[in-house]
Amino acid sequence: MIDSSTLRQAVRDYSSSRLFKKNLAVTLLLVTLPLCIICVVIYKTSSNIIEKSIQDLNQESIYRMKDVIDTIVSESKLLAASFSLKDETKTYMQSGIHENTASRIPYELADEIKTYAGIHRYIHSVYLYSENQNYIVSNIYNGMLENAPDKNWLSRYGTLDTDNVSIYIRKNDSGYPYFITIVKPVYFFNQDKLGAVVVNIDIETLGKLFQKTGNIQPQNSYLVDNASDSVVVYNRSLPAMWTQGDDLAQLGPFIREEGRISVTDEFGGEKYILSAVPSTSGPWTYVGAYPLSYYDEKLNIAKHILVYFIAGVTLIGIGISFILSVRSFQPVKNIVSVLKDPSKLQPQAEPDRQLSKSRNELDYIQAAIWQSVQSHKEMEDALKQRLELLKHAQAAALQSQINPHFLGNTLDSIKWEAMELTGGKNPVSSMVTKLAHLFHLGLNMKERLVPISTEMDHAKLYVEIMKYRYNDLFEVEWMIEPALYNHKIVKLSFQPLIENAIQHGLKPKKKDGRLLIQGETVKDQIHIRFIDNGVGMAASLADELNGRMNGETAEVGEHIGIQNVNQRIKLIFGSPYGVTIADSSDAGTTIVVRIPL
């Protein structure tokens, strides 16, 4: 019975205030908390969707910028290549200064360059430089190199020793404007370098051209020189500029980290969505920066709505908890009073029917308490009976240990007497030695599971004794994979199956008996087969034994050893494993032992 002080404490614990607290906790846990989590998930998901949309727009704008500028650079490369292949260009670069002064070729080339630059306004200038004359022909200046207003491209030209094009970002000698410069060396029959064609693309003009392509507002566009970490900036409100300031220095690590196309990061003291795309035409990267502050206001409105919603749900949960507490306290008090003395409950003749038909919750619980008390009493009685059986089993087990030890010691004494009588080893002493070893090995295997190698050693001793007895009537061949030796098997599994094969198969055959013991892995199991060439087993008997071994029938009749091994394997490893008679015919019998791998 339940202690009365414990019950009084339980009644105090189940006061209305405590019940209210519990109901409130349950309501908050099962209703309010999931709703709050859902609200947070919705907010986070919405924020991520908006951010992803802006990232996509930002990337799309940068890709448009890349397509426009890379296309212009590719066309400018073709322009440089076209001028380098003109016969007039090579004639001008090979001629002396005096010859060019008298010739119309330089003027014609200059006019052609002006025409092209007038059509393509992003082309700031094209220089045709003759190394032989140290002379430049262009759309903005014709004359000696030393007097040219822009010549810092010459250092890049000096590093070129092939006809490959060099493309890079640079400043004009005067500091403005800023160029994407294409330097194309000109060679005479691929041998002597005659000079170069230099095409300068005005980055500010490119920026204005990009503005017309419809990049999203308010986006800042950056053209980053990968070689020097210099940043050329262009957006709608600022002119083109060259900077290496602290704010823009954060772009370097982002651009150099491979595999990052878009990321949200703090940039210039403000959070931006940054998108970067490397150019396919030159050593620079296109970067777009979109400030997140432009959509934070909308997200804040959504956040306030969710907060008000969560607060309302919490208040509703408190109200529901109060109502549930008031309605639930009285039935709980009645139930606790019933627990004081369950013996006062009237026995239920048919408790199951009582439970199924009752419409009153209190009657239902009282009937359940009666059932619980009765079940508890029955379990106590069953436990007492099992404890008694366990005591008897322990006594029998202790008794069974005495006889084998006595028999083993007696066999040792017989062995020494036989050797003393004959003056040395003899067949009798050898057979007794193996029998004593067999007994001692069986006694020393205290565990229920032993390695397959240990079980093989035990079985081999038994086979040797049987060969003495039957005068080599049969042979046993072992073909178990060495990899399986350390896997565990139920103790004393092999000996009963070998005995069964000898007694019921090989002994009646009378000669040329053979037993093959194979072991291999099959999927996630180990299969050990005992294959004899004896007289076989009737198919009806094999089916009957398999039926017994698949059920829970105790061992009866013949072949008790097979059934015993099967039951022990199933008890330890489970019903999917055990012993099966796989084949039985006049040519012999095959028995398969299945254990887990």
pLDDT at position 184 is: 93
The DSSP bridge partners found for residue 167 are 182
Inside any domain, residue 220:
yes
Q: Do residue 182 and residue 211 come from a single domain?
A: no
pLDDT tens by residue, 171-195: 888 777 788 999 999 987 767 888 9
Strand 192-202, strand 220-225: pairing: unpaired
pLDDT tens by residue, 454-488: 899 889 988 888 888 888 788 999 999 999 999 99
59 pLDDT above the threshold of 60: yes
Inside any domain, residue 287:
yes
Q: Do residue 164 and residue 246 come from a single domain?
A: no
Higher pLDDT, 441 or 394: 441
pLDDT classification of 238: cutoffs 50, 70, 90: very low
Q: Do residue 223 and residue 174 come from a single domain?
A: no
Q: Do residue 166 and residue 126 come from a single domain?
A: yes
The DSSP bridge partners found for residue 578 are 594
Handedness of CA 165, 168, 171, 177 (dihedral sign): positive
Burial of 273 (0-12, 13-18, 19+ CB in 10 A): buried
Closest C-alpha to 165, from 190, 198, 192: 198
Separation between Cα atoms, residue 88 and residue 85, nearest integer Å: 9
Inside any domain, residue 192:
yes
Question: How remote is the C-alpha of 461 from its chain's centroid?
Answer: 51
pLDDT tens by residue, 556-588: 556 788 888 888 888 888 888 999 998 777 788
Inside any domain, residue 368:
no
Separation between Cα atoms, residue 595 and residue 597, nearest integer Å: 7
Q: Do residue 167 and residue 261 come from a single domain?
A: no
Q: What is the CATH number of the domain that holds 274?
A: 3.30.450
Q: Is there a contact between 222 and 289 (Cβ–Cβ < 8 Å)?
A: yes
Inside any domain, residue 357:
no
| Secondary structure of residue 250 in the 3-state scheme | coil
246 pLDDT above the threshold of 50: no
Proportion of the chain above pLDDT 70, given as a percent? 67
Highest mean predicted confidence (pLDDT) among 10-14, 54-58, 125-129: 125-129
pLDDT at position 98 is: 59
Domain boundary among 138, 169, 197: 197
pLDDT tens by residue, 83-120: 988 888 888 888 876 565 557 888 889 999 999 888 88
Inside any domain, residue 241:
yes
Phi, psi of 161 (to 5 degrees): -120, 10
Name the token pair of 382. Answer: 């069953």
Inside any domain, residue 351:
no
- Whether pTM exceeds 0.75: no
For 575, the domain range is 476-596
User: Do you know the residue count of the chain?
Assistant: 597
Q: Do residue 210 and residue 112 come from a single domain?
A: no
Q: Is there a contact between 59 and 161 (Cβ–Cβ < 8 Å)?
A: no
Q: Is there a contact between 489 and 452 (Cβ–Cβ < 8 Å)?
A: yes
Domain boundary among 254, 269, 295: 295
Q: What is the CATH number of the domain that holds 512?
A: 3.30.565.10
Residue with tokens 């040797």: 464
pLDDT at position 442 is: 61
Q: Do residue 176 and residue 240 come from a single domain?
A: no
Inside any domain, residue 34:
no
Strand 474-480, strand 513-522: pairing: parallel
Q: Do residue 509 and residue 540 come from a single domain?
A: yes
pLDDT at position 20 is: 63
pLDDT at position 409 is: 58
436 pLDDT above the threshold of 50: yes
375 pLDDT above the threshold of 50: yes
pLDDT at position 527 is: 95
Q: Do residue 211 and residue 176 come from a single domain?
A: no
Separation between Cα atoms, residue 140 and residue 127, nearest integer Å: 9
pLDDT at position 579 is: 93
Q: Is there a contact between 440 and 461 (Cβ–Cβ < 8 Å)?
A: no
Q: Is there a contact between 279 and 258 (Cβ–Cβ < 8 Å)?
A: no
Strand 525-532, strand 474-480: pairing: unpaired
Separation between Cα atoms, residue 502 and residue 221, nearest integer Å: 92
Say if residue 508 is preceded by a cis peptide, omega within 30 of 0: no
Q: Do residue 502 and residue 591 come from a single domain?
A: yes
Domain boundary among 163, 197, 231: 197
**CB neighbours (10 Å) of residue 327?**
10
| Secondary structure of residue 262 in the 3-state scheme | strand
pLDDT at position 125 is: 92
Average pLDDT, the chain: 76
Separation between Cα atoms, residue 258 and residue 372, nearest integer Å: 68
Number of compact structural domains in the chain: 3
Q: Do residue 135 and residue 211 come from a single domain?
A: no
Name the token pair of 351. Answer: 């408790």
Q: Do residue 579 and residue 503 come from a single domain?
A: yes
pLDDT tens by residue, 14-35: 555 666 677 767 766 777 777 7
**Start-to-end Cα distance in the chain:** 50
